[in-house]
């Protein structure tokens, strides 16, 4: 498996998805994020690094603390990729339903 | 915009799932998939006209559709039906002529479920040869012309990448 640094790879991991869910609620320090998980701090730190590289998280420094913010714009990329495909099937299925309605007893 | 169709394509995987509930009895939902006239109707859209050339709806039966896009270009889709049981199951292969290189082949498991006398559910699992092939097929929309407007937009935008 090549290391892709894109949104898709970022959200492929359940721990990373959980981190995103947390940070989406409000900016957090790496320590506060790590406290929420059973995994080692090192593991969580690696996940945070990947999420940052994929631009799903943004770093901000406040005094001596680093805070991570969620970047919703990036998440939209996943949605954008699937959207036309979903729309195509939804249109087809709506049409199927329409066509079959007259056959209902 | 809320769609009634749910599509799950997990990153890095070679499969995708399509789920949809219908206000139709399960028998009618199944029939829409096996009756050539009806199938051609709902699979066609403003951009692409689908014609069923062959649909032998039985185990080891072959199927073949052609799709004509607005420019008049024709694309071939074909495969074999592996397992079919009305009105619960359809397992088939799906192959699309490729403009270059090997054709892409996928395996589809369609499950039809009765919810009530008047409602039903279709669950499709599609398996691709590789993750890349799956992602490319999603990008293409699997049917020429289906997302023509979108493809044009993509082309235009690609110049700015």
Pick from B24, B32, B147: CB nearest A84: B147
Contact assignment for A96 to B29 by CB distance below 8 Å: yes
User: Domain residues for A68?
Assistant: 7-101
Tell me the nearest-neighbour CA distance from B146 into chain A, angstroms.
7
pLDDT of residue A12: 77
Residue A54 maps to a domain:
yes
Contact assignment for A88 to B24 by CB distance below 8 Å: no
Residue A1 maps to a domain:
no
Model confidence at B145: pLDDT above 60: no
Taking the model in full, what pTM does it have? 0.72
Q: What is the mean pLDDT of residues B24-30?
A: 95
Residue in the block written with tokens 């007259």? A102
pLDDT of residue B143: 54
Residue in the block written with tokens 């028998």? B27
Q: Angle at the Cα of B156 (from A9 to B95), degrees rounded to 5?
A: 60
Confidence of residue A39 (pLDDT cuts 50, 70, 90): very high
Contact assignment for B43 to A92 by CB distance below 8 Å: yes
Model confidence at B160: pLDDT above 60: no
Contact assignment for A101 to B139 by CB distance below 8 Å: no
- Contacts of residue B143 in chain A, CB cutoff 8 Å? 88
The correct answer on CATH 1.10.287.110 for the domain covering B14-158 is no
Taking the domains of chain B in order of start, what are their residue ranges? 14-158
Residue A78 maps to a domain:
yes
3-class secondary structure, A78: helix
- Contacts of residue B119 in chain A, CB cutoff 8 Å? none
As a whole-number percent, the residues of chain B with pLDDT over 90 amount to 60
The 10s digit of each residue's pLDDT in B32-53 is 999 999 999 999 888 889 999 9
Domain count, chain A: 1
Tell me the nearest-neighbour CA distance from B59 into chain A, angstroms.
24
Residue A97 maps to a domain:
yes
Q: What is the mean pLDDT of residues A83-91?
A: 90
Pick from B7, B12, B42: CB nearest A86: B7
Residue A2 maps to a domain:
no
pLDDT of residue B150: 43
Q: Which CATH number belongs to the domain containing residue A28 in this structure?
A: 1.10.10.10
Pick from B9, B38, B118: CB nearest A82: B9
As a whole-number percent, the residues of chain A with pLDDT over 70 amount to 95
3-class secondary structure, B28: helix
Residue whose C-alpha is closest to residue B76's, from B61, B96, B104: B96
Residue whose C-alpha is closest to residue B94's, from B131, B51, B138, B127: B127
Q: What is the mean pLDDT of residues A64-88?
A: 85
Residue A64 maps to a domain:
yes
């Amino acid at each position: 498996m090549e290391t892709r640094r894109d949104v898709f790879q970022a959200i492929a991991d359940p721990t990373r998805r959980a981190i995103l869910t947390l940070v989406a609620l409000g900016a957090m320090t790496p320590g506060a994020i790590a406290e929420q998980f059973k995994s080692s701090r090192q593991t969580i730190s690696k996940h945070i690094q990947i999420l940052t590289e994929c631009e799903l998280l943004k770093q901000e420094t406040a005094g001596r603390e680093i805070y991570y913010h969620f970047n919703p714009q990036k998440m939209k990329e996943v949605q954008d990729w699937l959207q036309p495909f979903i729309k195509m099937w939804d249109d087809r299925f709506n049409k199927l339903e329409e066509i079959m309605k007259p056959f209902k007893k | 915009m809320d769609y009634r169709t749910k599509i799950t394509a997990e990153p890095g995987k070679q499969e995708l799932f399509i789920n949809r509930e219908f206000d139709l009895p399960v028998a009618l939902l199944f029939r829409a998939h096996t009756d050539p006239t009806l199938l051609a109707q709902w699979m066609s859209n403003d951009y692409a006209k689908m014609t069923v050339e062959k649909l032998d709806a039985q185990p080891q039966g072959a199927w073949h559709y052609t799709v004509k896009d607005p420019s008049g270009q024709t694309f071939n889709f074909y495969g074999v039906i592996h397992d079919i049981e009305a009105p619960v199951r359809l397992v088939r292969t799906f192959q699309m002529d490729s403009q270059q290189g090997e054709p892409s082949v996928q395996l589809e498991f369609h499950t039809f479920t009765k919810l009530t006398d008047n409602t039903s559910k279709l669950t499709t699992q599609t398996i691709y040869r590789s993750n890349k092939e799956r992602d490319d097929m999603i990008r293409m929309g699997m049917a020429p012309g289906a997302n023509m407007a979108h493809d044009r937009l993509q082309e235009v935008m690609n110049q700015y990448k």
